[in-house]
A and B are shown apart, each in its own frame.
Chain A
Amino acid sequence: MGKRSSWALPYLIFMVLFVVLPLLLIAVYAFQNGMGGFTFSNLTAFFTEPKIVNSFLVSLEVALENTMICVLLGYPVAYILADKSLNRSAVTVVLFILPMWINALMRTMATAEIFHTLGIQLGKGTLLFGMAYDYLPFMIYPIYNVLDKMDKSYAEAAQDLGAKPLQVFMKVTLPLSMPGIISGVLMVFMPTVSTFAVSEILTNNTIMLFGSVIQEQFYNMMWNQGAALALVMLIIIGFTTLLPGKESGIEEGGLI
């Protein structure tokens, strides 16, 4: 047995080189000025430059709203798909993931074109619509996975013991499907904060999300400043994903 554990060695080396080292480099660059000297100014810029702070706050707001919209729209879809008395076909499930196989930027541009054709001005509303459209499958699938595998006898037991349908849902089904919701939220929230192309297309560059700011810094060769913003994001990701504990449902509710 002992020998086969060494089969993970190539992957370990690969990950140290292409995952750990690059992340450390973000931290190294974040604390350097252009000449290679140590500085805090890249990080303090995050708090002092209004443009950066604003885009960060706007990104959090948009991500929060988008995540809520995705949960509210996606949960019923997952629930219906997983309920054998309402849906018996596996094709319907695949129909909800199929759009993901078509290039996301292309779909986003088409969404923007539809708004254009309908004479709707691009802005916050169209951004939220397009974001929800892009990320909905990522919310539906993990929740569906959990609901589909859930032992139905819990809900039946609650029913037999006299719980009303709403009570069964609130006290049994919803708590049991939390791992799916959490993993869906993970797949929607941070990607929304960090997205850049999608928000540019859907708002005609009027709303700049945090990802766009980072991208712009790198585009303008300001690597150290960009790295500092990426570091801020990394720290937030660390907090949001490590705090709930390791059992936050990626393994259980993972995509496909």
Chain B
Amino acid sequence: MMGVKRIFAKAYLWLILIILYAPILFIAVFSFTKAKSMGNWTGFTLDLYSSLFTGATSDSRAILAALKSTLIIALTASAASTVLGTLAAIGIFNLKGRRKATLQFLNNIPMLNPDIITGVSLFLLFVSLHISQGYTTVILAHITFCTPYVVLNVLPRLAQMNPNIYEAALDLGATPSQALWKVLVPELRPGMISGFILAFTMSLDDFAVTFFTRGNMGLETLSTYIYADARKGGLTPELKPLMNIIFLLLLAGLLLVNVRSFRKRKQQSD
């Protein structure tokens, strides 16, 4: 009985995984051929890869520029969100009653709002304040929707922490900033790291908010670049090798983390 159930369960998981990965594998396969339209195999070549890395065409230069902007925005926004969100979490944790509820409610708004509402509302803000839109406005917008996730990741760590150790550090003569760096930050680090990773991911993948806050000075992230491609009717060929490289890096990262935790478990059981 148990065996049949297992086989069904495994088969179902595999079926869904195949569907989830089909488009990614499709792009990966066709990154090794030169045909412009996908699904059209014209022989194996690494031309697209060399074109992407050397910036041989104007397309590949534009893609590399978009990649750079994407990474700069994501790193800046998620770093700022981590600082702002951690401080906010400590503050919220120490608040009580109505004030605490109000802040937690405000913190939920950007997460519940669809991207397009966040994008449109910030667009109207920047327009009515006559702020010219570009890198800065995109980063501010990303901080807005990233910080709540940091707050939500740090709060549980605060709840698990012994509330007396910070006071103990102060009693033993630490300055508040020493107590922050030597006591609070190490305790909260796991929550800060997972918050940072989540913020970074949200920022990387964002399209709608960036689209509304990037202005018209030609700032492109990978998402807006791909959207422009879609409007023109086809994926720029050099995007395919880029996506395949990102995918392989992710797989390698997953494998690495897994091997490491496997080793740790083995060491513990030995």
Q: Real complex partners, A and B?
A: yes
Is B115 interfacial (CB-CB < 8 Å)? yes
Is A111 interfacial (CB-CB < 8 Å)? yes
Cβ of A86 and Cβ of B121 under 8 Å apart? no
Enumerate A157-209 residues with CB–CB distance to B below 8 Å: 186, 190-191, 193-197, 200-201
Cβ of B227 and Cβ of A29 under 8 Å apart? no
Is B77 interfacial (CB-CB < 8 Å)? no
| Bound form: Cα–Cα A60–B48 in Å | 41
- Neighbouring B residues of A251 by C-beta, 8 Å: 152
A-B residue pairs in contact (CB < 8 Å), sample of 28: A5-B91, A5-B99, A8-B87, A8-B91, A11-B91, A11-B151, A14-B144, A15-B106, A19-B106, A26-B120, A83-B9, A90-B258, A90-B261, A96-B16, A100-B205, A102-B24, A103-B204, A103-B223, A105-B226, A106-B226, A110-B24, A113-B26, A116-B38, A117-B38, A117-B39, A191-B114, A227-B124, A255-B198
The minimal Cβ–Cβ distance linking A250 to chain B, given in whole angstroms, is: 6
| Bound form: Cα–Cα A226–B120 in Å | 9
| Bound form: Cα–Cα A21–B20 in Å | 39
Enumerate A30-49 residues with CB–CB distance to B below 8 Å: none
Cβ of A103 and Cβ of B243 under 8 Å apart? yes
- Neighbouring A residues of B229 by C-beta, 8 Å: 109
| Bound form: Cα–Cα A20–B107 in Å | 11
Enumerate B89-145 residues with CB–CB distance to A below 8 Å: 90-92, 94-95, 99, 103, 105-117, 120-125, 127-128, 140-141, 143-144
Knowing A12-B103, A105-B230, A250-B108, the reply to whether A114 touches B117 (Cβ < 8 A) is no
Cβ of A76 and Cβ of B235 under 8 Å apart? no
Cβ of B12 and Cβ of A19 under 8 Å apart? no
Chain A to chain B: the 9 pairs with minimum beta-carbon distance, closest first: A8-B91, A117-B39, A22-B121, A11-B88, A194-B114, A110-B23, A7-B91, A5-B94, A22-B125
Is A73 interfacial (CB-CB < 8 Å)? yes
Dominant secondary structure of chain B at its interface with chain A: helix
Is A154 interfacial (CB-CB < 8 Å)? no
Cβ of B230 and Cβ of A109 under 8 Å apart? yes
Cβ of A107 and Cβ of B23 under 8 Å apart? yes
Cβ of B88 and Cβ of A106 under 8 Å apart? no
The minimal Cβ–Cβ distance linking B227 to chain A, given in whole angstroms, is: 5
How many residues of A are counted as interface, with CB atoms below 8 angstroms from the partner's CB atoms?
Answer: 86
Chain-B contact segment, one of A50-58, A142-150, A211-219: A211-219
Is A125 interfacial (CB-CB < 8 Å)? no
Is B147 interfacial (CB-CB < 8 Å)? yes
Cβ of A4 and Cβ of B91 under 8 Å apart? yes
Listed residue (B39, B92, B116) with the most chain A CB atoms within 10 angstroms of its CB: B116
- Neighbouring A residues of B117 by C-beta, 8 Å: 23, 26, 194, 230, 233-234, 237
Cβ of A103 and Cβ of B124 under 8 Å apart? no
Is B21 interfacial (CB-CB < 8 Å)? yes
Residue of B nearest to A26 (CB): B121
Is A245 interfacial (CB-CB < 8 Å)? no
Enumerate A98-132 residues with CB–CB distance to B below 8 Å: 98-111, 113-114, 116-117
Cβ of B243 and Cβ of A4 under 8 Å apart? no
Listed residue (A76, A77, A102) with the most chain B CB atoms within 10 angstroms of its CB: A102
The minimal Cβ–Cβ distance linking B149 to chain A, given in whole angstroms, is: 8
Residue of A nearest to B88 (CB): A11
Dominant secondary structure of chain A at its interface with chain B: helix
| Bound form: Cα–Cα A91–B123 in Å | 40
Knowing A10-B84, A100-B205, the reply to whether A256 touches B250 (Cβ < 8 A) is no
- Neighbouring A residues of B105 by C-beta, 8 Å: 246
B19 in complex: contacting residue of A5, A92, A133, A191, CB < 8 Å: A133
Cβ of B114 and Cβ of A233 under 8 Å apart? yes
Cβ of A92 and Cβ of B13 under 8 Å apart? yes
- Neighbouring A residues of B243 by C-beta, 8 Å: 102-103, 106
Is B263 interfacial (CB-CB < 8 Å)? no
Knowing A110-B38, A136-B16, the reply to whether A230 touches B226 (Cβ < 8 A) is no
| Bound form: Cα–Cα A191–B202 in Å | 14
Cβ of B17 and Cβ of A96 under 8 Å apart? yes
Is B237 interfacial (CB-CB < 8 Å)? no
Cβ of A15 and Cβ of B112 under 8 Å apart? no
- Neighbouring A residues of B108 by C-beta, 8 Å: 250
Give me 19 other A-B pairs in contact (C-beta within 8 A), A23-B117, A101-B204 excluded: A7-B94, A8-B103, A12-B103, A14-B143, A19-B109, A26-B121, A80-B9, A80-B13, A86-B5, A101-B250, A103-B204, A110-B38, A114-B26, A117-B38, A197-B230, A211-B116, A234-B117, A237-B112, A250-B112
- Neighbouring B residues of A86 by C-beta, 8 Å: 5-6, 9-10
Cβ of A103 and Cβ of B94 under 8 Å apart? no
Cβ of A18 and Cβ of B114 under 8 Å apart? no
Enumerate B12-50 residues with CB–CB distance to A below 8 Å: 12-13, 16-17, 19-24, 26-27, 37-39
Cβ of B107 and Cβ of A15 under 8 Å apart? yes
